[in-house]
Chains A and B, each alone.
Chain A
Amino acid sequence: MTRADDGRFPHNRPSCIPRPPMSTLEVHVWRGGTTGELRRYEVPRQEHQTVLDVVTFIQRRLDPGLAYRFACRVGMCGSCAMTVNGVARWTCRTHVSKVAQKGRLEIAPLRNLPLIRDLVCDMREFFDKWARARGQFAPTRTRRDEFATVLPSTATRREADAAIECIGCAVCYSSCDVVTWNPDYLGPAALNRAWTLVNDVRDGARGERLRSVAGDAGCHACHTHMSCTERCPKKLAPTASIAGLKRATAAAALKGEL
Chain B
Amino acid sequence: MIDMKNDHRSRNHPGWWAFLVHRLSGLALALFLPLHFWALGQALQGEAALGGFLRWAERPPVKLAEWVLVLLLAAHLGGGVRLLALEFLPWRDWHRTLLACAAGVAIAAGLAFALAL
Which A residues are within 8 Å of any B CB, using their own CB?
30, 34-36, 83, 85-88, 108, 111-112, 115, 162, 174-175, 177, 180, 223-227, 229-231, 237, 239-240, 243-244, 246-247
In the complex, chain B residues whose CB is within 8 Å of the CB of A162: 91
CB distance from A182 to the nearest CB of B (A): 13
**A115 touching B95 in the complex, CB below 8 Å, given contacts A224-B86, A246-B87:** no
B4: Cβ under 8 A from any A Cβ: yes
B45: Cβ under 8 A from any A Cβ: no
**A224 touching B10 in the complex, CB below 8 Å, given contacts A35-B1, A108-B2, A243-B91:** no
Interface centre among A108, A180, A230 (most CB of B within 10 A): A230
CB distance from A231 to the nearest CB of B (A): 8
Binary interface profile of B, 12-37, with partner A (CB < 8 Å = 1, else 0)? 01111011000100000000000000
What residue in chain B is nearest A226 (Cβ atoms)? B15
Contact A227 B16 (CB under 8 A): yes
What residue in chain A is nearest B88 (Cβ atoms)? A247
**A180 and B6 alpha carbons, distance in the complex (Å):** 8
CB distance from B11 to the nearest CB of A (A): 7
**A111 touching B5 in the complex, CB below 8 Å, given contacts A177-B11, A225-B16, A230-B15:** yes
In the complex, chain B residues whose CB is within 8 Å of the CB of A87: 9-10
CB distance from A169 to the nearest CB of B (A): 15
Contact A86 B9 (CB under 8 A): yes
Contact A243 B86 (CB under 8 A): yes
**A247 and B13 alpha carbons, distance in the complex (Å):** 26
What residue in chain B is nearest A242 (Cβ atoms)? B87
Contact of B83 among A224, A227, A231, A237 (CB under 8 A): A224
Contact A226 B9 (CB under 8 A): no
Known: A223-B19, A226-B13. 15 other contacts (CB 8 A): A85-B9, A88-B10, A111-B5, A112-B4, A162-B91, A175-B10, A224-B15, A224-B83, A224-B87, A225-B16, A226-B15, A227-B13, A231-B10, A237-B91, A243-B86
